[in-house]
């Protein structure tokens, strides 16, 4: 089983609809993010829209959370104990995990948007080991 231990940098983000049709790129195509996993089962994640300036009327996307995690080789579950969105605290953040060479790919559950369901795929490159 590949290891997720270490610190990872966001290197790509994609979104699609239920039928596989591409949707606008998350974080304006300029996402900045880090996720770190410790050997003793703690994690922290932060992702934001890294564009220096946003189009008028656009809110900057930002999300962060941390907690204890479990990983079975294909599924990552984090019990959130602190988050930028207080509604996440006490709940689980679940991600399907796969690997493509040196990259880790995380897929959260579909999210509901004004346009319908959105399926995201975030690609990460390891930048440090614990």
Does residue 1 form part of some domain?
A: no
Nearest Cα to 84, choosing from 61, 55, 114, 52? 61
CA distance 27 to 31: 5
Please give the model's pTM, rounded to 2 decimal places.
Answer: 0.93
Give me the long-range contacts of 104-108 (CB less than 8 A, separation at least 24): 104/2, 104/4, 104/8, 106/35, 106/76
Residue 28 DSSP SS3: helix
Residue 12, beta-bridge partner list: 123
Domain count, the chain: 1
Residue pair 89/66 in contact by the 8 Å Cβ criterion: no
Does residue 44 form part of some domain?
A: yes
Supply the CATH number for residue 105's domain.
Answer: 2.40.128.280
Residues of the domain holding 120: 6-128
pLDDT digits (tens, 9 = 90+) for 77-112: 999 999 999 999 999 999 999 999 999 999 999 998
Over 90: is that where the pLDDT of 114 sits? no
Over 90: is that where the pLDDT of 116 sits? no
Over 80: is that where the pLDDT of 115 sits? no
Would you state the structure tokens that stand for residue 3, as one six-digit string? 């290891």
Over 80: is that where the pLDDT of 1 sits? no
Does residue 109 form part of some domain?
A: yes
Does residue 60 form part of some domain?
A: yes
Does residue 47 form part of some domain?
A: yes
What was the pLDDT predicted at 130? 73
CA atoms within 13 A on the CB side of 96: 7
CA distance 67 to 90: 9
Does residue 89 form part of some domain?
A: yes
Does residue 37 form part of some domain?
A: yes
Over 90: is that where the pLDDT of 76 sits? yes
């Amino acid at each position: 089983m590949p290891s997720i231990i270490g610190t990872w940098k966001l290197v790509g983000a994609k979104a699609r609809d239920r039928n596989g049709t591409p949707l606008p790129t998350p974080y304006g195509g300029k996402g900045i993010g880090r996720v770190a996993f410790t050997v003793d089962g703690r994690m922290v994640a932060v992702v934001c829209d890294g564009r220096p300036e946003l189009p008028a009327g656009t809110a900057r996307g930002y999300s962060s959370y941390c907690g204890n995690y479990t990983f079975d080789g294909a599924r990552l579950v984090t019990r959130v104990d602190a988050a930028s969105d207080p509604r996440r605290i006490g709940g689980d953040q679940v991600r399907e995990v796969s690997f493509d060479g040196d990259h880790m790919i995380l897929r959260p559950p579909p999210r509901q948007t004004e346009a319908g369901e959105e399926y995201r795929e975030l690609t990460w490159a390891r930048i440090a080991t614990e």
